[in-house]
Structure 1
Amino acid sequence: MSTPAPAPASSPGTVSADLEVITVVSKKTPIVLAVVTLALAAAALFGPQEGDTTFRLATRNDFFELPNVTVPAMGTTWTMVVLLALITAESTRRYLRTRTTPVWLVVVFAILAMIGFLAWAAAGSTLPVVGLIAGSIALAVPLVFGALGGVLGERAGVVNIAIDGQLLAGAFAAAMVASVIGSSWAGVVGAMAAGALVALILGVFAISYYVEQVIVGVVLNVLIIGFTSFMFGQVLAPNAEALNSPPRLAPYAIPVLGDIPLIGPVLFRQSPIVYLLYVTVAVVAWALYRTKWGLRVRAVGEHPKAADTVGINVIATRYRTLLLGGAIAGMGGAFYTLVSVQQFNREMTGGAGYIALAAVIFGKWDPIRATLAALLFGFASNLQGVLSVIGSPVPSEFMLMLPYIVTVVAVAGLVGISRGPAAVGLPYRKS
C-alpha cells in the first residue's frame, strides 16, 4: 500500500502555495434585514390601513412644481415587503457563500423599507416630502458637527466621549457671546472656543496624564451639564434680555439653486450655519485623506510609535487634532441657540453627543460615512414629528423611541465587524 508523498517543504524566503485566505463574514446584516422585513410585514398584516398615501414633492417657490405621487397604501406596502424579502434572501445567499452584502444593496433596502413604512403610516394623508427631508437635515446639523469632531479625535487616537459636553458648552457660549456682542457670528466663534476648551481639558487628562479616556469624557459631560445648568439658573435666567437673547442666524435661500424642485428647498434654503457645515464636511474629508497633515493624524492614531520614529510629534498632533475636533463640535452647539431655539436652556442637547458618537462608529471613522449616518439619525428624529402631525396610527411612544431604535439597529446590526484606529484609547508614553 503506497502512501502519498509528503509535500515539499518551503524554502527560506518563499511562501507556501498551501496558504489560504479565510474570509470572515458577519451574519448580522442578513439577520437585521430579515427582522426589518418581518416587522413591516407584521405592521401591514395586523394593522392594515385604508386609503391612498400622497407624497407631496413641491413647494410654492420652485421653478416648476413636481406633481404629487399618490399610491395605494397597502398595495405599496406589500410590494415593498416582497422586494425586501428578495434582498434579504440575496444577503443570506451571500453570507452562506462567505461573501459580504454590498453597501449599495443595504442602501436600496433602507430606501424601500422607508417607502413601505411611510406608505403604511401615512395612509389617507398627504406626506410633505420636502419638509420631511429639509427638517431632517436641520435636526442632523449638530449631530454632523459632533460626529466630525469625534472622527478627528479618534483618528488621532483619543476617544472623544465628551462630544455631548462640547455641544452643550458650544450652545451656552454661543447664546451668551452673541447676546453680549450682538452678533450671531461672534456667537459661533464663542461656541468654537468653548468646544475647544472642553477638548483641551480632555486632552490634558487623557494625553498628558494618561487617565482612562472614556472615564474622562463621561465626567466632562456631567461637569458641563452641571456648570451650564448652574449658570443658566444663576446668571442667564435673571438676565435673559442681556445674556440669553442672541440674534438669530435666519435661513437664507441661495438664488437659483434654492428654486430647483425638491433639491433646492432641501439643501439651499437653509441657515448659513448649514452651508458652513457643507464646507466643513468637504474640507475635513479632503484634509484627512489628501494632505500631509491627514496622513500624520492617521499615522498617530494607527501606530504612534512608528509615527514618532519618523519624526512626527505624537503628543502635539493629538492635541492639535483634538482641539480642532472640539471647535467643530462647538459649532454644532451654536446651532441650538442661534438657529433652532434662539436661547439657551438646561440640557438642551438631549444627549445628542452620544448619537453623534454612534454616527462615528456607524460611519467607521470616516467623515463622509459619519455624516450620512448622522443624517439617518436626523431623519429618524424628524419622522416622529411629521407622522404625529398627519395623524399616523403609529403609537406616539414608539415614535419617541424611533431615533434611538434606529441608532441601536444601525450600530449593532449593520456595522458588522468594525475596527477603529488601532491606537485609539491608548495613551502614548515616549520611551
Structure 2
Amino acid sequence: MSFFEVLCIIVPSTLLTAAPLIFTSLGGVFTERSGVVNIGLEGLMSVGAFTAAVATLALEHSGFGAFSPWLAILIAGVAGGIFSLIHAVVSISFRADQTVSGVALNFLAAGLTIFLVKLIYNGGGQTPYIENNIDKINIPLLSKIPIIGPIFFQQVTYTSYLAILAAFVCWYVIFKTPFGLRLRSVGEHPAAADTLGINVIRMRYIGVVLSGIFGGIGGAVYLVTITSNYNVSTIAGQGFLALAALVFGKWHPFGALGASLFFGFAQSLSITSQQIPYLDQLPSVYLLIAPYVLTLIVLTGFVGRAVAPKADGLPYIKGQR
C-alpha cells in the first residue's frame, strides 16, 4: 500500500472523528473567554447525542426522511443551550465553584439521559438505531481534483467541513466584532468591563449558553455520523477530549481546531488500523487508548505555558476588583 493510499484512508477518517470535537471545543472557547470554566462539555455532548437520537427517530416517522438528522442537530443545539443554563445559574448567579458545577453537570447528563431512554423506550438501555445517518459521500467536482480530491473530498461528511467553517466564523466573532471584544473583556478584567457599561453577568450567560449550543451540536454530530444510537457509553470521553483540545489550543478557535484534528487523527488510527500495513499487527487495545495517552503527553510535555483568560473561573461580584 502506497503512502497516498494510506492518506486516502486516514484523512477522511480524521475529519469524521474530529468534527464533534471541533464543535464542542469551540463552545468551550466562548464560555472560557467569558471567564467561566466549563468542564461539563462531556455532559453537554451527552444531552446533544440523546436529543439527536430521539429527535431523528421522531422525525423519521413524521416523513422528514434524509432531512431528519440535520433537523435533529439543530434541536440538539437548542437542548444543549437550555441544559447549560443549569451551569450558568449555579456558577454565575449563585457563584458556586465552577469546577464542581461542571462535574455535577456531567453526572446529571449521564443519569438523566439514560433515565429518559428507559422511560421513552420501555425500559431499554439504549435507543433504537436511526435509519437516516449523515453518510460519507464524494463531494461533487472537488472529489475529482487530482491528488487532493481523493484525500480530502472523497468519503467525507459535510459536517466535517461545517465544523472547520465554524472555527473561522468563531474566530471572526471573537476577535473582529464588538461582541467578541466585550466577551473577552469580561473574561480578562470584568471590573474594568463593568465600569465601561458592559453587563458582565449577561455576557457570561451568553458565553455559557453558546458553549451548550455548540456542545449539543457536537454530541449530535457524533451520533448521526458515527454511532447511530444512544446509550450510556456513546460519548465515552469525547467531551473530555474536546476540553483537552480547548486547553491544547490555548483558548483560541484555530488552536482548538488544530488540536481537535490532532485528537481526531489519534482516534482514527483505531478505526483504520486494520487497513494499514504494520498498524494491523498491533494489538487493538493500544490504538484504542492512543487518543488518551497522546492527550496526557501533549498537555504535559508539548503545550508549554498555556495561560487562560485572567478572570477564568473567578466569580464576579459587582464592586469588587
TM over 0.5, shorter chain: yes
Amino acid at match of 1:322: V
Residue among 215, 225, 228 paired with 1:329: 215
Local SS of the residue matching 1:426: coil
Partner Cα distance (1:192, 1:160) in 2: 17
Partner Cα distance (1:151, 1:292) in 2: 17
Residue among 193, 196, 199 paired with 2:81: 196
Q: Partner residue of 1:415?
A: 303
> For the pair shown, which has the larger CA radius of gyration, 1 or 2?
1
Partner Cα distance (2:127, 2:86) in 1: 29
In the TM superposition, what is the alpha-carbon distance from 1:394 to its structure 2 partner? 3.2
Q: How does 1:7-406 map to 2 (within 5 A)?
A: 54-57=1-4, 128-182=6-60, 183-236=68-121, 245=130, 247-269=132-154, 270-390=156-276, 392=279, 393-406=281-294
Partner Cα distance (1:218, 1:229) in 2: 17
State whether residues 184 and 246 of structure 1, in contact with CA within 8 Å, keep that contact through their aligned partners in structure 2.
Answer: no
Equivalent pairs counted in the alignment come to 309
In the TM superposition, what is the alpha-carbon distance from 1:404 to its structure 2 partner? 1.1
State whether residues 196 and 324 of structure 1, in contact with CA within 8 Å, keep that contact through their aligned partners in structure 2.
Answer: yes
State whether residues 134 and 265 of structure 1, in contact with CA within 8 Å, keep that contact through their aligned partners in structure 2.
Answer: no
Local SS of the residue matching 1:253: coil
State whether residues 13 and 272 of structure 2, in contact with CA within 8 Å, keep that contact through their aligned partners in structure 1.
Answer: no
Partner Cα distance (1:379, 1:333) in 2: 18
State whether residues 229 and 347 of structure 1, in contact with CA within 8 Å, keep that contact through their aligned partners in structure 2.
Answer: no
1:24-70 deviation per Cα after TM superposition (whole angstroms, max 9, x unaligned): xxxxxxxxxxxxxxxxxxxxxxxxxxxxxx43425xxxxxxxxxxxx
Partner Cα distance (1:399, 1:244) in 2: 26
Local SS of the residue matching 2:251: coil
Q: Measured at CA, do residues 240 and 248 of structure 1 come closer, stay the same or move farther in structure 2, by a change above 3 Å?
A: farther
Partner Cα distance (2:126, 2:90) in 1: 37
Structure 1's consecutive aligned runs of 4 or more residues displaced over 6 angstroms after TM superposition are 239-243
Partner Cα distance (1:235, 1:162) in 2: 25
Partner Cα distance (2:182, 2:253) in 1: 16
Q: Measured at CA, do residues 242 and 370 of structure 1 come closer, stay the same or move farther in structure 2, by a change above 3 Å?
A: closer
In the TM superposition, what is the alpha-carbon distance from 1:355 to its structure 2 partner? 1.0
1:202-229 deviation per Cα after TM superposition (whole angstroms, max 9, x unaligned): 1000000001000010111011111112
1:246-305 deviation per Cα after TM superposition (whole angstroms, max 9, x unaligned): 522233433211222443344334223223212211110111111111111110100000
Partner Cα distance (2:122, 2:141) in 1: 42
Partner Cα distance (2:109, 2:94) in 1: 21
Q: Measured at CA, do residues 204 and 246 of structure 1 come closer, stay the same or move farther in structure 2, by a change above 3 Å?
A: farther
Amino acid at match of 1:173: T
Partner Cα distance (2:92, 2:243) in 1: 20
In the TM superposition, what is the alpha-carbon distance from 1:347 to its structure 2 partner? 2.6
Local SS of the residue matching 2:2: strand
Partner Cα distance (1:139, 1:401) in 2: 15
TM-score, normalising length: structure 1: 0.68
Q: Measured at CA, do residues 347 and 242 of structure 1 come closer, stay the same or move farther in structure 2, by a change above 3 Å?
A: closer
Q: Partner residue of 1:83?
A: none
1:305-329 deviation per Cα after TM superposition (whole angstroms, max 9, x unaligned): 0001111111111111211121111
Q: Measured at CA, do residues 344 and 397 of structure 1 come closer, stay the same or move farther in structure 2, by a change above 3 Å?
A: closer
Amino acid at match of 2:264: G
TM-score, normalising length: structure 2: 0.90
Give the stretch that moved more between structures: 224-233 or 141-150: 224-233
Partner Cα distance (2:46, 2:257) in 1: 20
In the TM superposition, what is the alpha-carbon distance from 1:191 to its structure 2 partner? 0.8
Local SS of the residue matching 1:57: helix
